[in-house]
């Protein structure tokens, strides 16, 4: 047995499999030409970041548009960062948005697909098998340096002439330990990590083609990177190479913060004898800082909208958030949407190459606009169901009121809806309570702010007259004719143009009269169609409210 083989056996006596075993267990995928395999690989930090949803959409759409595969892999090798059941927050986040992976983790301890386990902590044997084979090939070695020694080395490098910091070249003290020295250290129970024996000299460049960013050139890796930590758990870099190889990932799509690690990853893939996947580094999701006006990363600490739970708590429909994210993902999405107003977004021909490489701005104001559009084309039934579902969890009191008479509430949200020019008032379900509050006695609080240009006596006259005139049996034309008819006797004009030409001649115009009526009935200056509102309020409520408004003038 040569020394490398002996060393591999010494370090990994419990590993009896070979890489070939896993090559057979996880064969090349049998997919149509051009199909892409992409993965979303979060660490279970206890919440799903909006940037995570953004990236996952890229994976799912990349797979969908090429008849490929997307999967969810949980990267839980960093125990320090992991929090209890952080997986559920991620899986539930995706469930809420209806984002579905073909394979991978589906819940706490559950998964689907033939390339698992999809949780890294369950793959220790795979990593160690590959690690053992690297030692056999002389491409990895154990390092016994203590934290103090590494800190010392760093200090020397900082003060000395090292161009970069890290474990390499003359600093890599354990690189050339003999078998006997290693054996002795292990016999003494010294902890060790496994390091890559980098072949880099620093003279060559690594050039790779990033699918989003094009050609990228960087110095090759020279660091003897840690592959396995002292507990036998891999580092991100090593796990990434093993997993994306055995899960047969074709496209490694991940955040741009990983670009600087690519030379390391390329060396690792080559050391393991793996075909290189394609890399696509997505831009970060940014926002404009309200105080400084500068662009910055969305931060979990400062920005509630960084966590996707914000969107379901606020009651943004998932369709709105997805629709908005798509406008950030591909600049041609909005054109496509205009041409295909009713199409499901899964039909959008998403293209990785059309992604912008600079950070994309997440703008809540824009999201609100997109959402108003999305909600405006929903049916009344959809709106009713969504509001009921949302309020049941986030506003139970309103839920009781809203769902007490489903037909009534559906009719309310149907005002100015299901027509070619629907109103665009509602951006999220949490706004609905206020939006419809005047329909429900339990919520309505009269608060009249009558137009300042109308004298109190005139307001009183309008209210008194209208209380006599209105009839719910009127159709809309008759209803409006009655309001117009009130104008002249009260010194107003039914003709707005005429009023504008000669404002001195009138107390106001027909619009002022309807505003007074509107405010008396709803306490608002702006509402959807007043005729429809009155039909739903019913005679008793209308009379009572007109009367109350009249009394309030005294
Ligand atoms: N677990 C890594 C992270 O959360 C994933 C990076 C990757 O997608 O490769 O940043």
Tens of pLDDT, residue by residue over 114-135, are 999 999 999 999 999 999 999 9
pLDDT at 84: 64
Q: Is the pLDDT of residue 81 over 80?
A: no
Q: Is the CB of 75 under 6 A from ligand 1?
A: yes
Return d(Cα 410, Cα 402) in angstroms, integer.
Answer: 9
Question: Binning pLDDT at 50, 70 and 90, where does residue 159 land?
Answer: confident
Return d(Cα 181, Cα 26) in angstroms, integer.
Answer: 37
Nearest-CA residue for ligand 1 atom 9 is 254
Q: Is the pLDDT of residue 79 over 80?
A: no
Q: Which of 235, 254, 269 to mutate to test the pocket of ligand 1 (most atoms within 8 A of CB)?
A: 254
What average pLDDT does range 299-309 have in this prediction? 90
Q: Is the pLDDT of residue 357 over 90?
A: no
Question: Binning pLDDT at 50, 70 and 90, where does residue 160 land?
Answer: confident
**Alpha carbons within 13 A on the beta-carbon side of 186:** 20
The atom number, within ligand 1, closest to the CA of 40 reads 8
pLDDT at 276: 98
Q: What percent of the chain has pLDDT over 70?
A: 99
Question: Binning pLDDT at 50, 70 and 90, where does residue 83 land?
Answer: low
pLDDT at 411: 98
CA of 39 from ligand 1 middle (Å) equals 10
Return d(Cα 506, Cα 499) in angstroms, integer.
Answer: 7
What would the two tokens of residue 183 be?
């054996």
What would the two tokens of residue 57 be?
């959409």
Q: Are 536 and 464 contacting, i.e. CB atoms less than 8 angstroms apart?
A: no
Distances (CA, A) of 131 to 128, 226, 471: 5, 11, 85
The least confident of 214-228, 286-300, 304-318, 381-395 is 286-300
CA of 371 from ligand 1 middle (Å) equals 30
* Nearest alpha carbon to residue 392 among 423, 429, 358: 429
Q: Is the pLDDT of residue 472 over 90?
A: yes
Question: Binning pLDDT at 50, 70 and 90, where does residue 78 land?
Answer: confident
What would the two tokens of residue 444 be?
């309505």
Q: Is the CB of 254 under 6 A from ligand 1?
A: yes
Q: What percent of the chain has pLDDT over 90?
A: 87
Q: Domains in the chain and their CATH numbers?
A: 124-281 (3.40.50.620), 380-439 (no CATH), 456-551 (1.10.10.350)
pLDDT at 410: 98
Q: Are 465 and 423 contacting, i.e. CB atoms less than 8 angstroms apart?
A: no
Q: Is the CB of 303 under 6 A from ligand 1?
A: no
Q: Which of 39, 41, 252, 282 to mutate to test the pocket of ligand 1 (most atoms within 8 A of CB)?
A: 41
Return d(Cα 195, Cα 225) in angstroms, integer.
Answer: 5
What average pLDDT does range 174-188 have in this prediction? 96
Q: Is the pLDDT of residue 243 over 90?
A: yes
Question: Binning pLDDT at 50, 70 and 90, where does residue 467 land?
Answer: very high
Q: What is the three-class DSSP state of 78?
A: coil
Q: Is the pLDDT of residue 47 over 70?
A: yes
Q: Is the pLDDT of residue 420 over 70?
A: yes
What average pLDDT does range 242-259 have in this prediction? 97
CA of 41 from ligand 1 middle (Å) equals 5
Cis before 290 (ω within 30)? no
Q: Is the pLDDT of residue 163 over 80?
A: no
Predicted TM-score (pTM) of the model is: 0.89
Q: Is the CB of 120 under 6 A from ligand 1?
A: no
CA of 134 from ligand 1 middle (Å) equals 23
Backbone angles phi, psi at 425, to 5 degrees: -95, -30
Q: Is the CB of 43 under 6 A from ligand 1?
A: yes
């Amino acid at each position: 047995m040569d020394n490398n083989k002996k060393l591999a056996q010494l370090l990994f006596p419990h590993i009896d499999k070979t890489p070939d075993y896993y090559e057979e267990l996880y064969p090349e995928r049998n997919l149509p030409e051009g199909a892409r395999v992409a993965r979303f690989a979060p660490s279970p930090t206890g919440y799903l970041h909006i940037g995570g949803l953004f990236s996952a959409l890229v994976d799912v759409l990349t797979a969908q548009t090429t008849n490929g595969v997307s999967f969810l892999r949980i990267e839980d090798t960093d125990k320090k960062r992991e929090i209890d059941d952080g997986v559920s927050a991620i899986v539930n986040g995706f469930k809420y948005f209806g984002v579905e992976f073909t394979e991978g983790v589906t819940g706490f301890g559950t998964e689907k697909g033939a390339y698992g386990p999809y949780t890294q902590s369950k793959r220790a044997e795979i990593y160690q098998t590959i690690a053992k084979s690297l030692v056999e090939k002389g491409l990895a070695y154990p390092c016994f340096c203590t934290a103090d020694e590494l800190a010392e080395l760093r200090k020397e490098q900082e003060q000395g002439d090292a161009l970069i910091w890290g474990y390499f070249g003359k600093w890599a003290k354990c690189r050339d330990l003999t078998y006997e020295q290693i054996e002795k250290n292990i016999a003494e129970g010294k902890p060790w990590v496994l390091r890559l024996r980098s072949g880099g000299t620093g003279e060559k460049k690594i050039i790779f083609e990033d699918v989003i960013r094009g050609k990228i050139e960087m110095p090759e890796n020279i660091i003897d990177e840690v592959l396995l930590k002292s507990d036998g758990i891999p580092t991100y870099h090593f796990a990434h190479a093993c997993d994306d190889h055995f899960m047969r990932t074709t496209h490694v799509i991940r955040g741009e913060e990983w670009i600087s690690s690519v030379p390391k990853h390329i060396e690792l893939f080559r050391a393991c004898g793996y075909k290189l996947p394609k890399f696509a580094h997505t831009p970060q999701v940014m926002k404009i800082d309200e105080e400084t006006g500068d662009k910055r990363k969305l931060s979990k600490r400062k920005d509630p909208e960084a966590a996707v739970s914000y969107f379901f708590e606020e009651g943004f429909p998932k369709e709105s958030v997805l629709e908005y994210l798509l406008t950030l993902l591909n600049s041609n999405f909005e054109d496509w949407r205009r041409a295909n107003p009713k199409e499901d977004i899964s039909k959008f021909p998403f293209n990785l190459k059309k992604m912008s490489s600079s950070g994309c701005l997440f703008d809540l104001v824009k999201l609100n606009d997109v959402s108003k559009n999305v909600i405006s084309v929903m049916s009344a039934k959809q709106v009713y169901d969504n509001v009921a579902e949302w309020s049941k969890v986030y506003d139970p009191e309103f839920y009781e009121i809203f769902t007490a008479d489903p037909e009534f509430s559906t009719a309310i949200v149907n005002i100015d809806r299901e027509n070619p020019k629907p109103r665009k008032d509602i951006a999220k379900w949490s706004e609905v309570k206020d939006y419809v509050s005047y329909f429900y006695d339990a919520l309505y609080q009269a608060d009249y702010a009558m137009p300042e240009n109308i004298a109190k006596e005139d307001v009183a006259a309008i209210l008194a007259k209208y209380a006599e005139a209105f009839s719910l049996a009127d159709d809309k034309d008759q209803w409006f004719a009655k309001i117009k008819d009130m104008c002249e006797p009260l010194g107003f004009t039914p003709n707005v143009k005429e009023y504008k030409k000669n404002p001195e001649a009138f107390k106001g115009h027909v619009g002022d009269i309807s505003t007074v009526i509107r405010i008396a009935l709803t306490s608002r200056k702006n509402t959807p169609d007043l005729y429809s509102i009155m039909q739903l309020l019913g005679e008793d409520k209308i009379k009572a409210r007109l009367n109350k408004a009249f009394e309030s003038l005294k």
